[in-house]
Structure 1
Amino acid sequence: MDNTDIEDYLNGKGIKATANRILVMKELMKVSHPVNLAYLEMSLEFSMDKASIFRVLELFAEKDVVHVIEDGSRSLKYELCQSSHSHSINDQHAHFYCENCKETYCFKTAKVPVIDMPEGFRPHSINYMIKGICPKCNI
């Protein structure tokens, strides 16, 4: 995606395509796994303060551009939503957190199981996290 495609995508989500938002979007598109705020702060092409990155991520989460993942590392992770519409439980997949290298992996083909909710409860997200040791560390 070039800048024009990103601008169109963000505008379609109701987000004004500022330079900071485009920069964060480009970085999220480069990675194949969920990343935290510190990772983005280190890896962005141009320097951006942590508060600005956080505001962009919060807006992206509110507008269904990213999924927010709690992997137990005390640091939220963010990944682009692959759905072209708004988030739904069906978009979500399992994740694996390696307790050794602290990496979070996406298991995109492992869909989150559907759970019958009691009447009156309406879930908007599910955090399905598996913890253990990844193949890199399991040597």
Structure 2
Amino acid sequence: METDKYLKRLEKSGIKPTAIRLLVLDAISQKTEIFSLLDLEAVLETIDKSTLFRTLTLFQQHLIVHTIDDGSGSLKYSVCDEECDCSPQWQHVHFYCSECNRAYCLREIPIPQVVLPVGFEPKTINHVIKGVCNQCNKFANKLQ
């Protein structure tokens, strides 16, 4: 565990470091893909689900993770870059594969600009494209 690095990240984010928060930050920092609460629970078996949920909620409020509603019924999470402030320029498209049920952050694809009528103020934007991912497409093409 990179304790010093994680301590600095929590302190920079205004979060009091605890053993649980350090363990959760270590586990999510090793994730290379979007993850769910259940995914995290499988890795951190000794920490109960409600503690994990509260920790992820705190991390979301302090911009350590962002949430993705991919329409699967289970909220997903992704670790934010340290510079991320979740402002519109940091928001990006997500992709949900209907074959393998995986969600992907497509960081290189910004959310298209939408001009709202006067008096409308957006609070959040959720842009999820649903379809078949490249891995499932490769597998399907091999079967044909």
TM-score, normalised via structure 2 length: 0.87
Match of 1:13 in 2: 13
Q: Percent identity?
A: 40
User: Is 1:78 the counterpart of 2:77 in the alignment?
Assistant: yes
Distance 1:11 1:66, change over 3 A: same
**Matched residues in 2 for 1:104 and 1:85: separation?**
20
1:25-72 C-alpha deviation (Å, 9 max, x unpaired): 11211112211000000013x621000000001101111111111001
Match of 2:51 in 1: 52
**Matched residues in 2 for 1:95 and 1:74: separation?**
15
Q: Which runs of 5+ in 1 are unaligned?
A: none
The alpha-carbon deviation at position 116 of structure 1 amounts to 2.2
**Do the aligned residues in 1 keep the contact of 2:84 with 2:90 (CA within 8 Å)?**
no
Higher helix share: 2
**Matched residues in 2 for 1:54 and 1:134: separation?**
28
- 1:31-110 alignment to 2 at 5 Å? 31-44=31-44, 47-110=46-109
TM-score, normalised via structure 1 length: 0.90
Report the residue type matching 1:18 in the other structure.
T
Q: Which runs of 5+ in 2 are unaligned?
A: none
Moved over 4 A (4+): none
